[in-house]
């Protein structure tokens, strides 16, 4: 088992990662009858794409014996309606200095091949930009 999810009422869930015991909550967004006091379920999907991209890039950077420490990602999720769904995820990554052009190309390719990217529906537009300071 990966996680345990409890609906705690009032459009909120509590989510526990089984292996680590870490917990986070989700709330429905204010534009969908919720309080918006935490990540919404769709926020976690959009943010998960950024998490995955940075993680696989970090693995590749480690293999190249370099570090991405300090890399950041800004995530913007756009919703569509009828049916309500994620229509676009924009991720703007800012990388620390010091990467050669070859390393940049390798890491950019790696970013486009993360498992979450492949798992998302192809109709979701995914725009990933990388600023190489």
CA 6 to chain centre: 22
Cis before 83? omega within 30: yes
CATH class of segment(s) 47-131: alpha beta
Q: For every one of its 133 residues, what pLDDT tens digit does the chain have, with 9 covering 90 and above?
A: 999 999 999 999 999 999 999 999 999 999 999 999 999 999 999 999 999 999 999 999 999 999 999 999 999 999 999 999 999 999 999 999 999 999 999 999 999 999 999 999 999 999 999 999 8
pLDDT of residue 70: 97
Whether the Cβ atoms of residue 115 and residue 53 lie closer than 8 Å to each other: no
pLDDT of residue 133: 84
pLDDT of residue 105: 98
Q: What is the 3-state secondary structure (H, E, C) of the chain?
A: CCEEEEEEECCEEEEEECCCCCEEEEECCHHHCCCCCCCCHHHHHHHHHHHHHHHHHHHHHHHCCCCCCCCEEEEEEEEECCCCEEEEEEEEEECCCCCCHHHHHHHHHHHCCCHHHHHCCCCCEEEEEEECC
Domain ranges of the chain: 1-39, 47-131
pLDDT of residue 57: 98
């Amino acid at each position: 088992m990966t996680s345990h999810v409890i609906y705690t009422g009032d459009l909120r869930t509590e989510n526990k990662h089984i292996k680590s015991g870490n917990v986070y909550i989700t709330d429905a967004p204010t534009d969908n009858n919720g309080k918006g006091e935490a990540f919404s379920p769709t926020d976690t999907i959009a943010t998960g794409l950024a998490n995955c991209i940075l993680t696989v890039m970090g693995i590749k950077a480690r293999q190249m014996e370099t570090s991405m420490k300090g890399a950041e990602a800004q995530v913007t999720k756009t919703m569509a309606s009828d049916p309500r769904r994620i229509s676009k995820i924009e991720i703007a990554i800012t990388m620390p200095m010091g990467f050669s052009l070859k390393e940049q190309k390798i890491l950019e390719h790696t970013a486009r091949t993360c498992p979450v990217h492949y798992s998302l529906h192809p109709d979701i537009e995914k725009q990933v930009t990388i600023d190489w300071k």
